[in-house]
Amino acid sequence: MAIDLQALYPKLIHLMLDTVFVVDKDNQIIFVSDACNSLLGYLPHELMGTLITHYMHPDDLAATRDSIVRVMNGKPHVDFRNRYIRKDGATVHILWSARWYEEEGVRVGVARNVTALMQAEEELRYLAHHDSLTKLTNRALFYDRLALGLSTAHRYQSNLALLFLDLNDFKGINDVYGHAVGDRVLCTVARRLEGCVRETDTVARMGGDEFTVLLTDIKSAHAVTEKVEQILTVMNAPLGAEFGDVRMPSCSIGVACYPTDGEDADTLLSHADSHMYQVKRRGR
């Protein structure tokens, strides 16, 4: 029995999980496969006869038009990503493979929903630069921020300060109340520290119960002293009732200022760390 492949092709196209678009030279949709309902929330007849540019995310429109010009100049684009707006208003990330067919006068594009992939990639990028518990900047990103801060301070002859903070006797909380409670205390510390700084500053968890704060564009040494006093005041506030009888641990803060205490990251970190231990010993 001979199979009529010409008759079968449209059925195969509608079985595809990816969406097939056929668009004319004026960006008008003249065909779209059934998968468009899953991708954009529209039925095929709702899209046909409309402009495909109407559904593009406005922030991606310029880059998408550049891709269209490339395709219509005979250069297939098989790895282009952009965003579209679904019928329900949600944003969908799409990976495209597109080609212009001069003889037929149409552009054919195959669209794959990569929203979940983009979200996973974004999450991986976030985890690579942030502490998984407190969501603060991690050690690696903090070093990058410090290096950038030093470069800026050197260029504009400005000052910056590095604070090294350690919780006193934090181990006792873990030993008596358990690590789950200790983790909640660390998250509370993180939020309190974030509340003490500007958006241009950086708070990081270096590991364990050690935190750093990078203060940029410092106007005076007095401003650093005031910031340390503010942090100590905030940190000395009792924990909420949900912590029961757990007491907020006190903290020791070491300070290093650029350029007085060093002109490179390692020197400043070493100075702040050493100063922190001096403060801790005096407290004891």
**Given the residues 18, 60, 131, 209, the one annotated as active site:** 209
Three-state SS for the chain is CCCCHHHHHHHHHHHCCCEEEEEECCCEEEEECCCHHHHHCCCHHHHCCCEHHHHECHHHHHHHHHHHHHHHCCCCEEEEEEEEECCCCCEEEEEEEEEEECCCCEEEEEEEECHHHHHHHHHHHHHHHECCCCCCECHHHHHHHHHHHHHHHHHHCCEEEEEEEEECCHHHHHHHHCHHHHHHHHHHHHHHHHCCCCCCCEEEEEECCEEEEEEEEECCHHHHHHHHHHHHHHHCCCCCHHHCCCCCCCEEEEEEEECCCCCCHHHHHHHHHHHHHHHHHHHC
User: Of 259, 255, 254, nearest to 152 (Cα)?
Assistant: 259
Cα dist from 201 to 177, 217, 223, whole Å: 33, 9, 14
CA angle 87, 91, 97 (to 5 degrees): 95
Task: Reply yes or no on whether 88 is catalytic.
Answer: no
Active-site positions?
Answer: 209
